[in-house]
Amino acid sequence: MVLVARPHASGLRAAQKAATHWAAGALPDVQLLGLVIVADAPGRLPRPLRELAALVSGGVPQTWQVPWIESWRLGDDVALESAPREVRRLIADLTALAPNLGPAAGTDR
């Protein structure tokens, strides 16, 4: 499983709550690979949100940050070759962490 959150206060708190449940053993059948934080606006996060994101990241095995991609928001084609390096790294890392998961994996879980 991968947690995905927007980096606003409520999104990060929701991710923190889920990570806390996982860490407490409340989800024994769940293998948490990490947290993906998907930018909700262009630019750098304000300090309080950066600090909260760092705090939440400390409770998960790995964290990836996906930047704001205006063209994707507008519905442009998503091509891995032209994706930002953060997105390519996320895909490579997840492929290495869960090699038996195919494109449709997790849809029936």
Other Cβ atoms closer than 10 A to 103: 6
Number of domains the chain contains = 1
Query: pLDDT of 3-57, one tens digit each?
Result: 999 999 999 999 999 999 999 999 999 999 999 999 999 999 999 999 999 999 9
Q: Which residue has the higher pLDDT, 83 or 56?
A: 56
Q: Is 94 exposed, middle or buried (0-12, 13-18, 19+ CB in 10 A)?
A: middle
Is the residue at 103 inside a domain?
no
**What integer pLDDT is reported at residue 51 of this predicted model?**
98
Name the pLDDT band for 106 (thresholds 50, 70, 90). very low
Is the residue at 102 inside a domain?
no
Are the C-beta atoms of 87 and 66 separated by less than 8 Å?
yes
**What integer pLDDT is reported at residue 33 of this predicted model?**
95
Is the residue at 30 inside a domain?
yes
Is the residue at 108 inside a domain?
no
Are the C-beta atoms of 107 and 101 separated by less than 8 Å?
no
Domain extent for 76: 2-97
**Where would I find the H helices in 1-109?**
9-23, 47-57, 70-73, 85-97
pTM: 0.85
